[in-house]
Amino acid sequence: GQNIDQPTEMTATEGAIVQINCTYQTSGFNGLFWYQQHAGEAPTFLSYNVLDGLEEKGRFSSFLSRSKGYSYLLLKELQMKDSASYLCAAPMIYNQGGKLIFGQGTELSVKP
């Protein structure tokens, strides 16, 4: 089966660094997505990792270890606007037509 786990909520301070972890168990592997979702809005794409290692995009970086079934999203120089839910998602494969399975999301609160 497929399963994705993330912490439910995290709190961090403005200007700090926070790491949001995601562990996954999938029947195959076709990459891992991170999305950001503000309350009442649709998710927006942050990153897509297929290969092991760290990919950096400005203040946001995403890491993947396929052997460990583990990924994390790293947010640097936190800003108040980074308060949102962060969703880890994996595509289902084996002719599943591109369906995504989502983790439960991590609600990040950034405090002054």
Partner 1 sequence: GAVVSQHPSWVICKSGTSVKIECRSLDFQATTMFWYRQFPKQSLMLMATSNEGSKATYEQGVEKDKFLINHASLTLSTLTVTSAHPEDSSFYICSARDETSEDYNEQFFGPGTRLTVL
Nearer to partner 1 by Cβ, of 50 and 80: the residue is 50
Report d(CA 67, CA 86) in Å as an integer.
Answer: 23
Nearer to partner 1 by Cβ, of 76 and 107: the residue is 107
Strand 106-111 versus strand 84-91 pairing type: antiparallel
Report d(CA 46, CA 71) in Å as an integer.
Answer: 13
Q: Residue numbers of the site for partner 1 (CB under 8 A)?
A: 30-31, 33, 35, 40-45, 48, 87, 91, 97-105, 107
Q: Least distance (Å) from partner 1 to the CB of residue 112?
A: 24
